[in-house]
Amino acid sequence: MTVAPTMIPASEVRIGDRLRTRSGLELTVTRVDDVFMGRPEMLAFVEDSEVQWLKMPALGDNEVELVRRPGYSD
């Protein structure tokens, strides 16, 4: 079953979630930094893998595009 991309609050992102940035890049979250650039209201989602390194900042109360969540079958 394929799950259509959906918007979720940034504060609900979990390790393993696959997100899409505004520019269309995708990352699988391997780490969540809960303070970004000294701003406690900012989060940063990081993929640090053999495939890529990418960081996506977001305000904690904004929505982000969830492409896939572990546990859902494709």
pTM for this model (two decimals): 0.84
Q: Into which CATH architecture does domain 6-68 fall?
A: Roll (2.30)
Ordered by start, the domain boundaries in the chain are: 6-68
> Mean of the per-residue pLDDT values for the chain?
90
Question: Could you give phi then psi for residue 10, rounded to 5 degrees?
Answer: -55, -35
Nearest alpha carbon to residue 43 among 29, 28, 58: 58
Give me the count of residues in the chain: 74
* Cα-based distances in Å from 33 to 1, 5, 46, 50, 74: 31, 23, 8, 20, 28
Maximal C-alpha separation, the chain: 40
- Quick one: pLDDT at residue 73? 55
